[in-house]
Amino acid sequence: MIIKKYLAKEIYAHLCVISGILVAIFLSNQIVLYLGRATAGKLTGGMLFKIMALEIPILLGFLLPIGLYIAILLAYGRLYVDSEMTVLQACGVSQKKLLTHTLTFASGVFLLVLVMNFYITPWLIRDKNKILATNPATIIINTLVPGRFKTLNDQNVVYVENVDNATQAAENIFIAKRETKTVHQKINGLDVATKVPVWRVLSADKAYQMQSKTLDGSFVVAEKGIEYSGVPGERNFRVVHFQQYGARIPDAGVIQTKMSYDSLALGDLWAQAFSNKKAMAELQWRISMPLSVPILVLLALPLSRVNPRQGRYRKLVPAVLLYTVYANMQFVARGWLEDGAIPSYIGLWFLHMVLLLIALSLYMGKHRWQKMWKRLQFWNKTA
């Protein structure tokens, strides 16, 4: 029991550290991506914080298998280098018992990855997609800085002199929007259509967001202002004076990101998997994450065996390279499955089968391989 607790402590300690480092690395890449969107005015600071909070458990569901794999390599590699594993074997901890203990430790990670990828991660991705599909008008309002011009998509310029913190109403607002207009002209007797820029400039004393119950929607309302519209250089400008000018904000249900199968609930995904290639690829991907846990445990145990004189990191680099090939091939096979290049019954399963055979082959000693090779050399046998 003491030995089992000691091994569990070593593995879980390394697992927490390695998983934390991996999550930090992948999260930094995501932060750079979403910071670019925030700089462009597509995300607010609060939305960025929420998305990053959702990304952490999503990444954990993907990185825990590799975290456990490296944790076993480092933990057991240290035990071999410090000759502690030799002492454990002398105390009756055989390779079979060590494998049994390690699989028991990994069962918790297996269940966690299973629950994360089957249920929690799709739910978190749905929440993240809702945030990314927030009404653009709402984002614009929340990202306005009083006293500064804000450019949106190189087509709109917005300026607000002041914002009332109590009512969240903008004061002395200026908006310039550039559009295009098709004009037909007679050139050498031919009707030629050309596009000319049309500017709409609006200034108002006050603007605020309003929820209308009668019209069932949200509106941005400007009060006491003037709107100018026309083609620069021409005299036929249209001038409109208004007391109230409302622009409807599209409903959140209308503004949606493209359909993603990774956000579907397990029941919905299962119902579509046998008639949709992309749904089948997503289903096999979700199964692959927890399925890889016991296979990686089987692989990590023999790879962690090192000679004390060789150092604990001797087999770490080839072990990581082997996992890198395995992980990258999963992405490739997933793309093949989505495109219909491979049938669903092959899918991602052949990768797990290949890695499992590699792991099992490492448990066979040199003498077993020689015996098997002699059996295969049937042509040398005499009648």
Which has the closest alpha carbon to 323: 5, 2, 18, 8? 18
**Residue 195 in domain:** yes
* Average of per-residue pLDDT values in the chain: 80
Are residues 193 and 269 part of one domain? no
Please check whether residues 281 and 218 belong to one and the same domain: no
Same-domain status, 150 and 211: yes
Token couple for 69: 């794999």
pLDDT at 68 over 90: yes
Q: Are residues 316 and 268 in the same domain?
A: yes
Residue 253 is predicted with a pLDDT of 44
Domain boundary residue, one of 219, 249, 279: 249
User: Is residue 192 in a domain?
Assistant: yes
Distant-in-sequence, close-in-space partners of 347: CB < 8 Å, separation ≥ 6: 280, 281, 284, 333, 337
pLDDT at 180: 77
Is the per-residue pLDDT at 285 higher than 90? Answer: yes
Least confident of 121-130, 229-238, 271-280, 362-371: 362-371
**Residues 194, 334 within the same domain:** no
2 or 354, higher pLDDT: 354
Q: Are residues 129 and 82 in the same domain?
A: yes
- Amino acid identity of residue 177, one-letter, is K
Is 346 part of a structural domain of the chain? yes
pTM of the model as a whole: 0.72
- Is residue 110 scored above 50 in pLDDT? yes
Domain assignment present for 381:
no
At 55-65, the pLDDT tens digits run 999 999 899 99
Residue 382 belongs to some domain of the structure: no
- In this structure, are strands 170-187 and 149-152 parallel, antiparallel, or unpaired? unpaired
Return the pLDDT at 373: 46
Backbone angles phi, psi at 197, to 5 degrees: -75, 140
Q: What is the pLDDT of residues 316-343, one digit of tens each?
A: 888 889 999 999 999 999 999 988 888 8
- 260, 230 Cβ separation under 8 angstroms: no
**One domain, residues 72 and 147:** no
Whole-number pLDDT of residue 383: 43
In a domain, 373, yes or no: no
How long is the chain? 383
Residue 370 identity = Q
Looking at the 3D structure of the chain, how many domains does it have?
Answer: 2
Which one has a higher pLDDT value, 295 or 306? Answer: 295
Question: Does residue 133 contact residue 256 with C-beta atoms inside 8 Å?
Answer: yes
Last residue of a domain, one of 213, 231, 249: 249
Residue 18 has pLDDT above 50, yes or no: yes
Both tokens of 133, joined, read 């599909």
From 193, 215, 249, give the residue that closes a domain: 249
Question: Are residues 56 and 108 in contact, defined by beta-carbon separation less than 8 angstroms?
Answer: no
Do residue 227 and residue 293 come from a single domain?
Answer: no
69: pLDDT strictly greater than 90: yes
Mark whether 349 and 263 lie in a shared domain. Answer: yes
Interatomic CA distance for residues 59 and 209, integer angstroms:
36
- pLDDT at 256 (0 to 100): 47
Residue 175 CB partners (closer than 8 Å, separation 6+): 156, 157, 158, 159, 201, 202, 203
Residue 97 within a domain: yes
Task: Calculate what percentage of the chain has a pLDDT beyond 90.
Answer: 22
Predicted pLDDT at 149: 75
Q: How far apart are the C-alpha atoms of 25 and 63, rounded to whole Å?
A: 11
Claim to verify: residue 120 and residue 148 sit in the same structural domain: no
301 and 152 inside one domain: no
| Exposed/middle/buried for residue 72 (C-beta within 10 Å: 0-12, 13-18, 19+) | buried
| Residue 341: domain span | 2-133+258-368
Q: Which long-range contacts (CB under 8 A, 24 or more apart) does 216-221 make?
A: 217/248, 217/249, 217/251, 218/135, 218/137, 218/138, 218/248, 218/249, 218/251, 219/246, 219/247, 219/248, 219/249, 220/137, 220/141, 220/246, 220/247, 220/249, 221/245, 221/246
Within-domain flag for 83: yes
Q: Do 71 and 90 share a domain, yes or no?
A: yes
